[in-house]
Amino acid sequence: QVTLRESGPALVKPTQTLTLTCTFSGFSLSTSGMCVSWIRQPPGKALEWLARIDWDDDKYYSTSLKTRLTISKDTSKNQVVLTMTNMDPVDTATYYCARKALAAADSYDYWGQGTLVTVSS
């Protein structure tokens, strides 16, 4: 059974750095072809893809946010960590982690329930 769960602070101040952790089970990020991504959704708005880390430690970032994002993994702990620097109120959103489906056009077949992060002083 595949599960993913996001964790991190619910509230951060402007200019602070956000650190989110995705803890997963039911699969291994050391399996060839496996990937985990972060996606966010501001309240009432569309989904926005942020970053991806692959089984071989390749990393990919949103063009518009790449200077602020860092993604990493701890395979032994089954965790993926996303850091976002210089947080701003416009970064208020629900942050999701999701697993890339194998042999399915890089779609996301399993998602966490999401964690709402509010940026406010």
Partner 1 sequence: DIQMTQSPSSLSASVGDRVTITCRASQSISSYLNWYQQKPGKAPKLLIYAASSLQSGVPSRFSGSGSGTDFTLTISSLQPEDFATYYCQQSYSTSGFGQGTKLEIK
Q: Provide the 3-class DSSP secondary structure of residue 90.
A: helix
Interatomic CA distance for residues 2 and 65, integer angstroms: 29
Interface segment toward partner 1; rule CB under 8 A; list 11-19, 26-34, 75-83, 112-120: 112-120
| CB-nearer residue toward partner 1: 24 or 96 | 96
| CB-nearer residue toward partner 1: 4 or 18 | 4
| CB-nearer residue toward partner 1: 16 or 61 | 61
Told to check if 111 binds partner 1 by CB under 8 A, we report yes
Interatomic CA distance for residues 74 and 29, integer angstroms: 9
Interatomic CA distance for residues 71 and 10, integer angstroms: 19
DSSP 26: S
Told to check if 63 binds partner 1 by CB under 8 A, we report yes
